């Protein structure tokens, strides 16, 4: 069984999304077996690209929901995608936070990392823009001995 988690930036351009989608699929194809499990919070951007790739490869999806208001705080345009992927999840883990804030997001990321064998990080290598950002999750994963696969197009600045 291979358990892979995802962390990464949101608000990606279409060019970055195409690159990230291709790289995630290539990586998952290399590490996957008949028991691929993907763990995601289903935010727009990296999380969604990853979840779709896991399901397309016949893997199982576990969703971590950071807070009761999490979905409501995602962009309305993302709700149909979130709902579709959420409905296909084999398991949903709802955390006890009410508000979808950085503390809840970082706790969800820690749960995600702790339940993963390895982590994919769609990360530009820059510091987090706020508490609980991608850099913080990568640091947490590395400090707990998890393998981290960084995916980001060379020479591209995050929007």
DSSP 8-state symbol, 98: S
For 51-70, the pLDDT digits (tens) are 999 999 999 999 999 999 99
- Phi-psi group of 52: left, alpha or beta (phi > 0 → left; psi -120 to 50 → alpha; rest → beta): alpha
pLDDT digits (tens, 9 = 90+) for 65-113: 999 999 999 999 999 999 999 999 999 999 999 999 999 999 999 999 9
What SS3 state is found at 42?
Answer: coil
Between CA 91 and CA 61 the distance in angstroms is 7
Determine the average pLDDT of the residues in 18-24. Answer: 98
Torsion angle in degrees (nearest 10) through CA of 106, 112, 116, 121: -60
Answer whether residue 50 shows pLDDT above 90: yes
| Short-list 54, 59, 46, 51, CA closest to 19 | 46
Q: What is the pLDDT of residue 132?
A: 82
- Write the pLDDT tens digit of every residue in 118-138: 999 999 999 988 778 999 999
pLDDT at 44: 95
What architecture (CATH level 2) is domain 2-151?
A: 3-Layer(aba) Sandwich (3.40)
Alpha carbon distances (Å) from 119 to 46, 100, 109: 12, 22, 11
What global pTM score does this model have?
0.95
CA 77 to CA 16: how far, in whole Å? 19
Per the CB < 8 A criterion, the answer to whether 61 and 54 are in contact is yes
What are the residue ranges spanned by the domains of the chain? 2-151
């Amino acid at each position: 069984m291979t358990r892979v988690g995802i962390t990464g930036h949101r608000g990606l351009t279409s060019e970055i999304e195409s690159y990230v989608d291709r790289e995630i699929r290539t990586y998952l194809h290399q590490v996957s077996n008949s028991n691929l499990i993907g763990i995601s919070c289903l935010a727009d951007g990296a999380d969604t690209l990853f979840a779709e790739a896991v399901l397309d490869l016949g893997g199982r999806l576990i969703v971590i929901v950071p807070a009761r208001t999490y979905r409501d705080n995602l962009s309305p345009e993302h709700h149909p995608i979130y709902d579709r992927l959420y409905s296909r999840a084999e398991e949903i883990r709802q955390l006890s936070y009410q508000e979808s804030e950085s503390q809840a997001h970082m706790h969800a990321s820690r749960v995600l990392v702790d339940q993963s064998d390895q982590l994919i990080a769609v990360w530009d290598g820059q510091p987090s823009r706020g508490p609980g950002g991608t850099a913080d999750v990568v640091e947490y994963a590395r400090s707990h001995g998890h393998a981290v696969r960084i995916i980001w197009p060379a020479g591209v600045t995050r929007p």
